[in-house]
Structure 1
Amino acid sequence: MREPRGTRQVAEDALAWVSAQRAQFALGEDALSADGQVNRSWKPLGELAQVCATVCRHTAPTDPLHACAADLMAFAWQQTGRGELFVLLQRLEPFATYPLEVYAAMAAGGLRHPGYEAATATVARTRSWRLTEQEPTRRLGVLNAETRSGISESDAMPQALRRTWLAGLPEPWTFEQSSGYSLTHVVFHLTDWGRAGPGGVPPDLADYLADWLPPWLDTCLDAGMWDLGCELLAVAASLPVPPEPAVLQDAWARIAAVQHPSGAVPERGSGADHDSGPDFLSHYHPTLMAAFAATLTTGRLDDGARADAHHRPGGQGVLG
């Protein structure tokens, strides 16, 4: 096992691998095809933009991590023809939600296309759009995407939230992989992927997660579920009161131990099967999640350090 590295280093190495693999995120000729594989084209590009928007939000413009994330954001935007492909997608599939969800990730980074927003806003006013049956967590994500894109402000978020697995405060022993991914995305949508701060998590959910997130995280890491483990670490950094430092230190040491020297993080397993180098499809998502969670964690640790300095004798506050 390699010597544990700091959380910040995990983020830097992860984003460096992502940057080296940027060509793999490029949209192919089938991006607008009716039988195109969305999960292998638009989905990775949207996830890239989402993570990079959050990294940019939580780092200073002079930070090399910020510069890398901003460069990747620019690449993602260029892949969409600076938004023109969203307009074409909207015409081809007016009631599909995935184009809006991908666009919202880019809009979060300040990349906007007024024409697409106007066209989508027209569709979003229809009864068909509002009444489309969606799984609760997905519904929460679509509502958040509408808000982020300036399409509409909705008061349906609380109603959608209360239909999710997490909001039911289920018996903790019923936690499994599918519910784990569901709860992480509920928190991501509530906190606007870490951009809105921990105040977006309702108190009852925050208290529930404070009790049960640490054992769930430990269980996932014991099972070598690094992708879900990184998502749970992002949730941990998004709570009003994060887990104890020892819990986070142990978890991040385990993530760092399986991170490939190139910066890639495996989805599952020991992380030792890299003789030919990490393949893109099985590594891009956990690596993005590692960068995402590590950036949020580093931000919370920095906030805690500033708070400690403020309360120490002789410490200066923001007005000092």
Structure 2
Amino acid sequence: MSAPAPAPVPRSARQVTGRALGWLRRHCELGVLPPGTTAELAHPDSVYKPLGETALAGSLVLREERADPRDHKAARELLDFAWWELRGGDMLYERQLRYLMMTDPLELYTHFVRAGYRHRRLDALLEHLYGVVTPYAVEQVPNRRLAIANAARLMGLDRATGRGIDWKLLTDATWLGNTPEPWAVDWMTAYSMTHTVFHLTDWGARPGELPPHLEEYLQLWLPVWLEVWREVEEWDLFAELLIVGACLREPYLDPAAWAELAAVQHEDGLVPRDGKAVDGDAGRRFRDHHHPTVVAAVAGTLALARVPPSGGPHGPSPEAAR
């Protein structure tokens, strides 16, 4: 007997997104900043960075009109929560003012700007900083330079300051930009590759910004990489690769891959980081699996946004699947 056909992409993506956002909303208070936290942030990856990731997911849900209204509500509540934790943007302003070469305040802020939140003093500070040399002289790995460039583009700083962005130069410096031997990719390089695509396309909003030769390369090798990381059960990276598929000019939306992600997601919405057992108390589960759950929410949101209205080869449209 043959195996049952996988569910259409919209059905799987909607399930993954709704459950993931629900889990993030119900558990967000496990990710509050410790009392007395200042802009110095001795351990920025512990809570500060996850707040930014939560804001990213929320902002992309609100950006896409085809998202479920319930998901819009959860996304807005998550953004309000993260904005509150960052003291209405004051913490981002104070961090940027004190550490002029830090780029994370700009990058986190753009997620909120995408969703309509503004901080007047931070706006003025960023416009000033990006009119001088220092932010551009900060030494970063190539895909991180693209992250900063995309944040500046989203804020309009490239236009406001008259500093254009040489996207070809930035892209050519990345691993993906050189279209290397695809079988040589390792775990960390794969993450860098995904983020090159995210920033070039502003998380799928600008698929046309991906150079044609990179589109061709990814259309050929993305299915292979998905299979590799599916076999080793690296679900965080697997979901990031699904985001890449949704960012292409011709989106790669494989029903079997989406069914796989939906199958590994827990009933409560948590998406495991990898194939190891998910254990520990609620706090430990949140710390260990917050990132893959955010990534899954983003992947589902973008997949639903890129499914052709007629459903195409990947199943019916989101409206027809309801």
Question: TM-score interval w.r.t. the shorter chain?
Answer: 0.7 to 0.9
Aligned-CA RMSD value: 2.3
What is the one-letter code of the residue matched to 1:160? L
Equivalent in the alignment of 1:223: 232
Q: CA deviation at 1:150?
A: 3.1
Equivalent in the alignment of 1:312: none
TM-score in terms of structure 2 length:
0.87
CA contact (8 A) 1:59 1:65 kept: no
Q: Distance in 2 between matches of 1:221 and 1:61?
A: 26
User: Structure 1 segments of 4 or more deviating over 3 A?
Assistant: 59-62, 272-278, 306-309
SS across alignment from 2:101: coil
CA contact (8 A) 2:93 2:105 kept: no
Q: Distance in 2 between matches of 1:275 and 1:115?
A: 42
Equivalent in the alignment of 1:273: 278
Q: Distance in 2 between matches of 1:306 and 1:217?
A: 22
Q: Of the candidates 207, 210, 222, which is equivalent to residue 201 of structure 1? A: 210
SS across alignment from 2:45: helix
| Number of positions where the alignment pairs a residue of Structure 1 with one of Structure 2 | 302
CA contact (8 A) 2:25 2:74 kept: yes
Q: Distance in 2 between matches of 1:296 and 1:129?
A: 30
What pairs with 1:1-320 in structure 2 (closer than 5 Å)? 6-29=12-35, 31-32=37-38, 34=40, 36-60=42-66, 63-153=69-159, 154-194=164-204, 196-243=205-252, 248-270=254-276, 272-274=277-279, 279-305=285-311
Equivalent in the alignment of 2:3: none
SS across alignment from 2:97: helix
| 208 and 114 in structure 1: CA distance in 2 versus 1, 3 angstrom threshold | same
Deviates more, 1:105-114 or 1:164-173: 105-114
Deviates more, 1:137-146 or 1:114-123: 114-123
What is the one-letter code of the residue matched to 2:82? A
What is the one-letter code of the residue matched to 1:263? G
| Unaligned segments of structure 2, at least 5 residues | 1-5, 316-322
| 201 and 13 in structure 1: CA distance in 2 versus 1, 3 angstrom threshold | same
Q: Deviations over 1:143-163 (max 9, x none)?
A: 111122233343222211110
| 117 and 178 in structure 1: CA distance in 2 versus 1, 3 angstrom threshold | same
Q: Distance in 2 between matches of 1:265 and 1:45?
A: 17
| 276 and 305 in structure 1: CA distance in 2 versus 1, 3 angstrom threshold | same
Q: CA deviation at 1:62?
A: 6.9
Q: Distance in 2 between matches of 1:297 and 1:175?
A: 24
| Unaligned segments of structure 1, at least 5 residues | 310-320
Deviates more, 1:96-105 or 1:124-133: 124-133
CA contact (8 A) 1:26 1:41 kept: yes
Q: Distance in 1 between matches of 2:132 and 2:278?
A: 50
What is the one-letter code of the residue matched to 1:159? L
Q: CA deviation at 1:239?
A: 0.8
TM-score in terms of structure 1 length:
0.87
CA contact (8 A) 1:60 1:66 kept: no
Q: Distance in 2 between matches of 1:218 and 1:40?
A: 31
| 274 and 257 in structure 1: CA distance in 2 versus 1, 3 angstrom threshold | farther
| 62 and 250 in structure 1: CA distance in 2 versus 1, 3 angstrom threshold | closer
Q: CA deviation at 1:123?
A: 2.1
Q: CA deviation at 1:44?
A: 0.5
Q: Distance in 1 between matches of 2:280 and 2:131?
A: 52
CA contact (8 A) 2:52 2:111 kept: yes
Q: CA deviation at 1:275?
A: 7.4
SS across alignment from 1:67: helix
Equivalent in the alignment of 1:318: none
What is the one-letter code of the residue matched to 1:273? V
